[in-house]
Chains A and B, each alone.
Chain A
Amino acid sequence: MWKTLVWLQGVRTTPDTIVRKKVTNKFVAPSVLLALLIHTAIVVAVGVSIIFQQDILVGDKDETTTPVSARAVDESDVLAELERMQYEETLERQRQKEQQQQLELALEKQREAERRTQEENERLAQMEAQRLEQEQALREVEEQKRLAQAEIEAAEQQRLEEQRLIEAAEALRLQQEEELRQVEEQKRLAQAEIEAAEQQRLEQQRLTEEAEALRLEQEEVLRQVEEQKRLAQAEIEAAEQQRLEEQRLIKEAEELRLQQEEALREIEDQKRTAQAQIEEAEALRLQQEEELRQVEEQKRLTEAEIEAAQQRLIEEAEAEQLRKQAQIAQLEEQERQTEEENKRLKQEAEAKRLAALEQQRLEEEQKRLEAELRQKELEEKARQARIEEEKRQVALAEKLKQEELARQEQERALARQLQRRAQSEFARFIPQIKQKVEDSWIAQSNSEGRFAILEVEINPTGEVQSVEVYSSSGSLAFDRSVSIAVRKASPLPIPRDPEIFDYFKRFRFEFSGSAR
């Protein structure tokens, strides 16, 4: 009975669907209820009947007792009555007992029925529980099946979706392939064009470079000419300087010469004495020479006359035949005179020879004297020259010192000026140098973090003269790659101004490898 209720309770606590199913499908519950109602009715009926009987008995007793106590007359009657009453009571008791027994039997039967019902109920409950369990299990299985089905469907959905995507992707890929081929073709054409353009650009670059090289060459030539001109100018100036110096020296020499002349005058006096003698001899010699000259002149004139006469004679030979004969005498006379003259001339020549010998002797004497004099003069000159040289040296030293100071000052001024010029040129040329070196450096992909410093010297045309690793990157390959870059960038673009070349002749390149 509890179990049933508990079960019913339990059923009520379970979800409505299950209760509904329970009530509609099964007939057990109404029958139990019916049995319960019948049973209750029986019990009530029996109970009521007993109560009523008791009530009757009590009523009887009350009614009979009262007359007994009230009258108490007829003892036998009373006793008979009592006996009868006892008998009736016994009967009644027996009847009651029988009824009780019947009731008990009925109750027993009822209990038995109840017990069986209960057992039945229990069995049913057990069966129901089992069924519920089975149903629960079934539901779970179904739930699982449903979830699995959903999963399968989802997977199928996904597979189809994937399939669709793959197909779409394939279609797209084919289309893209086509497009790619076209693009590739276009790219190839563009590439060809680019290559042609590149070729042209390279050609132009080569021409530009050649032109540049030519220009550089011309500039170099021009610069050299300029340099030569400058040097020539300097030479001229130096020559002028020297000339002035020489003039000065000449002046000084002139003074010296005057002094020397004074000194010489004494010598001159001596010389003059000798000279007087020489002059005397000379006068004589001159006289003799004059005579000789006159004679020779005469002779020359005579010879000319003869020639002329002969000429005339030849011319007039025939015409003057007669006159000639007359003249022969005259001529003979003349001839004689001539011979005489010749003889005299011979004598004079002899005299002249002697005079010449004398003259020669005198001349030699004079030469000797002159040589002596010259010697003396030379010695004096040498002495003077030494003194002069010493003086000149001192003066020169002083002059040089002054010049050096002036020059230094000038140089400093020049240097300041050059420095300003150089600085303005840096702004223009350093980006160009940097660009040229960068363009010749093939940077390797693994050079990130590497750092090297090169010291580079160039000549006035910008050509790289030396490259030294000032600070190594630690990688020989990296150091080599940057050295090659600088050498390949030669000549470096530098100003065409030889005066500020000093500012451009040494470079330090700091190479840092970067990521690619």
Chain B
Amino acid sequence: MKLLKTLMAGAALVVGLGGMAQAQEKTKIGFVYVGPVGDFGWSYEHDQGRQAVEAEFGDKVETMYVESVPEGADSERVMTQMALDGADLIFTTSFGYMDPTINVAKKFPNVKFEHATGYKQAENVSTYSARFYEGRTVIGHIAGNMTKTNTIGYIASFPIPEVIRGINAAYIAAKKVNPDVKMKIVWVYTWFDPGKEADAATALIEQGADVIMQHTDSPAAMTIAEEKGIYAFGQASDMKQFGPNARLSSIIDNWSPYYIARTQAVMDGTWTSTATWDGIAPGMVGIGDFSDNIPADVQASATALKDALASGATHSFTGPLNKQDGSVWLAEGETADDGTLAGMNFYVEGIEGDVPQ
């Protein structure tokens, strides 16, 4: 349906252009989403960014998007179609689009590509991501304070560095305030499957978790947490409406400023291939309001932590830290470099279980 709409809009545009050849050409921007725009999580926030671009530039841009695009060969087809439709800039918004983006970019050297959360750049491919782990540190701090069973449940998607980084960041922060804390991790191998996410949440609660974190895209776990009377955090979006009592806080992705800046760069002809990785300070990662269920002193310490992360006074990964096998990773006071973080494939000391290979 959406694709059809896009195609029809494209056809209408071609017809329209014929009539007014001298009219200024619009900048066309494509977005490829991994889930539906109505997931109220990851893809929803990217679409908010798209709408912000439209609101900012009005008639000067035309945006198109295709939602629920599977990672892999199918995404290559969608990107190719967008490039053929005359897109000037294409945002591919999931890790699994990395190689397809590089492949399609080779075929269309004049089209600019922006791939989210990946690490492969090219002449016409930029990468961008948010330092979600800074947000994980803040909610890990809250979770460590709030858990009564000393068990935090974590619904993980795929064993990629971004997800592992989030688990480590949350665990380190929780452990700091609660030395007895344990983290139980369930890998669901999907970004979006509300039924499975709900089942994973139920399984974690069965195993004693009373605070749930997730790295999947739907608010299903939040709904289950609300039902079972435990706590959870909004992921990517605020998700408050899904768990008014369960939601403690949230990590909110805010892509709008970046999308607007990159669109402007294409219009001005100043676009270059870059690798952006922004955190709390520039506002790409937002922390949602704190719930009244969080005691005032924890709210205060969480706010202080957030400010310290923003100012750079604190880093989520500050030594002394050991890897899971007990070997030294960071010495006292040392902070992790971006290279290690970007390729992180190990748990820190204290987390049980193995990273799936």
Q: Do A and B come from one complex?
A: no
